[in-house]
Structure 1
Amino acid sequence: MSYENELKALRKKHLENIPFLTLKKDAVLKTADLIFQLEDALDVPVLLEDLLEDVKQDVGTDVLRVENILKAMCFMIGLDPDFIYRNRYENILRTLKPKTDAYLIYLINQYSEQPDYALIFSLALVEFERSARNLFILANSLENVSIALTKDDQKEKAVFYFEESIKMYHKSAKADQQFSLPLYKLGFYYKQVGQFIRAKDYWERFIASDQDNLRIQEVREELEMLEMLVDYEVGSSFVLNGDIDRGLDKLLPLVPYYPTWWNLLFVIGLAFRQNGDFQIASDYFKNVLRLKPDQIDSINELALCYISMSKYQEAKDVLDAAVALTSDSEVLANRAVANFYLEQYKSALWDINQSLKLNPDDQIAQTIKKEIEIAIAE
């Protein structure tokens, strides 16, 4: 599935519930102060619920009916941009609703409690004008559909709409660099997914271009809290690229502020292990496992620390518990190493064979197996 497939299904569902009425040549459509006369007969849509309400109230062809027709024309353009009568509908809408964008935004707000309707009107809005503001409104409607689907426990579908909303926020930001609202949204998004440097960049650009003092103050407060998270991202990058000392300089000052943030403790443990400080590293990995007992990467790293300190039984005990939790090729390979040093060669061979079944191309595991087979042969 994909967003495109979900949108296609949504459009199809609503298209099946759009009745059409035929207006004859010279029929007049009028709002409170504007008139449009048809030069030819035209099939016009009405939302089914509006048609039923009109029939129930016996409204006739007065202003209310015309308003319902105009609304449904917008709906149709959102549902099917290639509809045969699109140009004629647009002509009518621009005549009877000269501020067409404002009218569509009114409809989007009117249907805020029905996110799929609001989305369809937002799609129509972008068809009329692909501006930064309209792309932002579309992005917001997509996000609202995602929220509604999440509440309805349709999380897989929700992800498609949410990812599309982020794309639209980006397009909105690119369409007009002085339009600040997508920058506000993207800052929160990148903070949520742990890309703190990008979040900081978007929020700093937001402050430089926004005029709302309350929003600016909110983002300034977020930026103050974000500084340490940026240090975490920078420090983690240093560690992963082998610049251990610079990484620890960024990461260690964060521990008093985030003593239960297991990701932080894990990266610090990784840094100390790479530096050969196995005892200190093992303490950090133990702390991670107190917070998150099933964190497999930390189990593997702790076992590697024990093996490096020649504490083979401790390594095996840790990995025994991990095998009970998961069939992970790296866990099995590390337990094979622990069993090898404990001279439990048959157990080591079984472990490494199981590891290679899960990951046949693991060259390290293949090397371990050769060492075990040599030991058994002797």
Structure 2
Amino acid sequence: MFERIDQYIKDGLDRVVFIELKKDAHIDYKFEILKGIPIPINITELTKPIKEGKMDYDISLASMARGMITLIGLDNDFKYIDVYKEFLNIFDEKILEYIAYEGVKLAEEKNFHDALIYFKALITLDEDNLNGLYNYARCCQDIALLAEDKDKKKEFKREAIEALEIITEKHSDFSLAYYHLGFHYANQSLFKKAQITWEKCIDLGIDEEKKKEILFRIEELRDQIQYEEGYTCILNNQLDLGLKKLLPLAEKYSDWWNLLFFIGLGHRQLGNTKEAIKTFKKILTIKPTQVDTLNELGLCYAALNDFQHAEKYFKKALQFKKEDSEILCNLGMVYMEMGKFDESKEVLEKSIKINPNDEITMQCIKKLNQMQEHR
């Protein structure tokens, strides 16, 4: 859990050095477990006394504890993690509260990377810790917001989402997790999911300012939510309901090609082929090289037995996507209907080479072979 951002924080290990207690070192018997193992210390804990001119100083148990917290936050697979956990619980029975307090303090100082390390240590010590999970997610969000590197931004956003989703599973009544998740889903264009998540947040209870913000965002995304509901219905073969949701949007958004595509798809699957052709051709005035639309037009004309136009659109689609097995298969079927068996064999063999397990192409080749045998 929570390993995708390790590459961005493990350079922090350079700030940790290891010491080892001498076998005859005087130490409380409770901490004998530390003898003979490397103990992490933050470099600043060593350099600060030197800068202050103190040449003779002892390393405290508290310094050891802080070093262990840092290491656990940076590398929770380290060999001696279990020993460090045992030490921390013996050292301070309220160690989790201390880590949470220090993490919040660092976050308030805008030191998000160090705060993240503390909260990562907290959820390593207690994976269900709500305070740790929530603040870890918030730190990831803040770091993503400030990150200039696109990959780093993406990974920290994903990390935040995972932490928030875990909260909704383990602490399902914590409304703030749903509040933040709604924005993440909306930014991923998962508008219906965002709506459901925000409505759950309101049901659980949230302060009035955040509630107003959520309601405003839901209203602002109302058309996108309706679009998502509509195309989901089309994909689930609820064609009439899908068109009922999508057609009113087309009156407002005449140049929204994705919307037009699903309207065209719904019409084609209902058998309203001429209406589908009209819709798909409108898309081509907006995006002339939209391959899926060209393929759909080919299917529409094939349904009308207008194989010359079907061939035209499938071939045009292949100009922009040469290695598409589905389009090749469609063209192969058209050639078969036109009696162009050699051309059909050529494109079907190319299709099956690209996608050897495609059952439709295999059936087409079988049918072609039977037709050739009876010529």
TM-score normalised by length of structure 1:
0.78
- How do 1:185-224 residues align onto structure 2 when only pairs under 5 Å count? 185-224=180-219
1:210 and 1:321 mapped to 2: Cα distance? 55
1:119·1:145 contact (CA, 8 Å) conserved in 2?
no
2:349 maps to 1:353: yes
1:54·1:65 contact (CA, 8 Å) conserved in 2?
no
Mean CA deviation greater in 90-99 or 182-191: 90-99
1:119 match: 116
Deviation sequence 1:142-171 (CA, Å, 0-9, x none) = 45566677x33546xx66654443232122
The change in CA–CA distance for 1:269 and 1:94 in structure 2 (over 3 A counts) is: same
SS in 2 for 1:322: helix
1:291 and 1:50 mapped to 2: Cα distance? 63
Structure 1 spans left out of the alignment, 5+ residues: 28-37
1:277 and 1:231 mapped to 2: Cα distance? 22
2:66 and 2:109 mapped to 1: Cα distance? 11
Alpha-carbon offset, residue 51 of structure 1: 3.8
2:278 and 2:177 mapped to 1: Cα distance? 43
Deviation sequence 1:50-89 (CA, Å, 0-9, x none) = 5445534546689999986654342133234824233333
Alpha-carbon offset, residue 220 of structure 1: 0.6
Alpha-carbon offset, residue 254 of structure 1: 1.5
1:52 and 1:72 mapped to 2: Cα distance? 14
TM-score normalised by length of structure 2:
0.79
1:35 match: none
Alpha-carbon offset, residue 274 of structure 1: 0.9
2:368 maps to 1:369: no
1:54 and 1:324 mapped to 2: Cα distance? 71
1:226 match: 221
1:328 match: 324
1:20 match: 18
**RMSD over aligned Cα atoms:** 3.9
2:104 and 2:139 mapped to 1: Cα distance? 11
2:132 alignment partner AA: N
Alpha-carbon offset, residue 221 of structure 1: 0.8
1:243 match: 238
2:296 match: 301
2:115 and 2:360 mapped to 1: Cα distance? 55
Alpha-carbon offset, residue 218 of structure 1: 1.3
SS in 1 for 2:271: coil
2:186·2:194 contact (CA, 8 Å) conserved in 1?
yes
Tell me how many residue pairs correspond in the alignment. 362
1:30 match: none
The change in CA–CA distance for 1:300 and 1:57 in structure 2 (over 3 A counts) is: farther
1:106 match: 105
Counterpart of 2:40 (choices 42, 45, 51) is: 45
2:334 alignment partner AA: A
Deviation sequence 1:205-229 (CA, Å, 0-9, x none) = 2123344333221111111133333
1:74 alignment partner AA: I
Alpha-carbon offset, residue 118 of structure 1: 3.5
1:93·1:100 contact (CA, 8 Å) conserved in 2?
no
1:174 match: 169
Structure 2 spans left out of the alignment, 5+ residues: none
1:211 and 1:353 mapped to 2: Cα distance? 60
